[in-house]
Amino acid sequence: MTVPAVISLVTLGVRDVTAATRFYQALGFELSPGSVDGAVSFFRTSGARLGLFGQDDLAADAQAEARTSDGFRGVSVSINVESPSAVDAALSAAAAAGATIAKPAHTAEWGGYSGYFADPDGHLWEVAHNPFWPLGRDGLPQLP
């Protein structure tokens, strides 16, 4: 008996679903018409789908404590791209859309090139080029 090895959806808890939705639309992410205005948004991302939900609603749904922690959440979400220049372009586009550059892109000791941006709720997104993880036809990294 196993658990299906798939990450279908990542849901980020946000203070204001409408404002967060505008941010991700400004990044260029395509909103699904299955979203409910101001209540829950889903984006047609490849890899895992992205969901936005009120942070208190998400806590209630998971029966977690209602208060969302401040500070580092212990999670990051990555966008893997095909080249270092694509990392720079994506971080610039994120900044233009209102993201905070949490860490400018640089060559990492593991041999890749990456940086981080934070969305308006502080969720951390890494943008990375990993030369050891070629992207497949589906645009997703192929792990060794």
Interactions with its own copies, residue window 69-128 (CB under 8 A): 69-81, 86, 89-90, 92-94, 96-97, 102-103, 116, 121, 123-124, 126-128
* The length of the chain, given as a count of residues: 144
Count the Cβ atoms, other than its own, within 10 Å of residue 25. 14
Given CA atoms 44, 48, 49, 53 in this order, what sign does their dihedral have? negative
Distance of CA 76 to the CA centre of its chain: 7
Angstrom distance (rounded) from CA 70 to CA 53: 17
Work out how close the CB of 97 gets to its own copies at its nearest, in angstroms, rounded to a whole number. 7
Count the Cβ atoms, other than its own, within 10 Å of residue 94. 24
Work out how close the CB of 39 gets to its own copies at its nearest, in angstroms, rounded to a whole number. 10
Q: For residues 17 and 128, which CB has a smaller minimum distance to its own copies in the complex? A: 128
Residue labelled with tokens 């203070």: 15
63 binds its own copies (CB under 8 A): yes
Q: For residues 44 and 107, which CB has a smaller minimum distance to its own copies in the complex? A: 44
Work out how close the CB of 54 gets to its own copies at its nearest, in angstroms, rounded to a whole number. 10
List the one residue from 17, 20, 42, 113 that touches its own copies (CB under 8 A): 42
Sequence-distant (6+) residues with CB within 8 A of 3 are none
Which of positions 1-40 make contact with its own copies (CB under 8 A)? 1-14, 27-30, 32-34
Work out how close the CB of 38 gets to its own copies at its nearest, in angstroms, rounded to a whole number. 15
